[in-house]
Chain A
Amino acid sequence: TQLLEQSPQFLSIQEGENLTVYCNSSSVFSSLQWYRQEPGEGPVLLVTVVTGGEVKKLKRLTFQFGDARKDSSLHITAAQPGDTGLYLCAGTPYTGGFKTIFGAGTRLFVKA
């Protein structure tokens, strides 16, 4: 079974704190994506990582793809209430054809 496990499932922090969420699998992925989903809306792509060891930065968000292409992390610096949402990782495993699979997500709540 090709699963993407995300941790933590839920995170509630104060504005200004830093946080890291994780996405792990026993399978190798050709690429991993991170999405953010707000209530009542569809997921919106934040970043795609393709190369093992790759690090991408998007303002206060830093994404890393593991060297073995089995895991990824998202680090948020100085979180703001606008960062509140469901963070989903998704990927296409090498052995899964073209099917994208999603993790269950990390629900982040940033208190002002």
Chain B
Amino acid sequence: EAGVAQSPRYKIIEKRQSVAFWCNPISGHATLYWYQQILGQGPKLLIQFQNNGVVDDSQLPKDRFSAERLKGVDSTLKIQPAKLEDSAVYLCASSPGARAHQETQYFGPGTRLLVL
């Protein structure tokens, strides 16, 4: 079974530029998560989708971050414009069904973003 795929693996941009990350979850998984992991910290949930609906986006900086999950499969996370403090690893994860809080989350390898 293929795991969670993310691209690109690395991205370097200048502040105020835009960037987009892509995630392809495990086939059939209903729940998709985007996390931000700053160096030395644990992952912080940015947004959680159940199929193509948003379950939680309380920690998403909505003035600059946006995410969508069209057709309840792939997802993209966009930052526009980027700030220095956005430098982090962006992790995508998926889990099978509706009881997400008790299910195993499967993580992708992450996209490492450096904002200069």
Residues of A within 8 A of B (CB): 4, 6, 30-31, 40-45, 48, 50, 88, 90, 92, 97-105
- A42 and B104 within 8 A (CB): no
- B101 and A102 within 8 A (CB): no
Residues of the A chain whose Cβ atoms lie less than 8 Å from the Cβ of B67: none
- Closest residue of A by beta carbon distance from B59: A99
- B42 and A104 within 8 A (CB): yes
- Closest residue of A by beta carbon distance from B43: A102
Task: Give the dominant DSSP class at B's interface.
Answer: mixed
B2 to chain A, nearest CB (A): 14
Residues of the B chain whose Cβ atoms lie less than 8 Å from the Cβ of A4: 42
A-B pairs under 8 A by CB, number: 60
What 0/1 pattern do residues 59 to 100 of B give for CB contact below 8 A with A? Answer: 000000000000000000000000000000001010000001
Q: A41-B109, A42-B108, A42-B110 are in contact. Are A98 and B101 (CB under 8 A)?
A: yes
B111 to chain A, nearest CB (A): 11
Measured between alpha carbons, how far is A100 from B100 in the docked complex, in Å?
9
**Most chain B beta-carbon neighbours within 10 Å: one of A92, A99, A103, A105:** A99
Q: Which of B58, B102, B105, B106 contacts A30 (CB 8 A)?
A: B102
- Closest residue of A by beta carbon distance from B9: A40
Query: Does B13 make an interface contact (CB < 8 A)?
Result: no
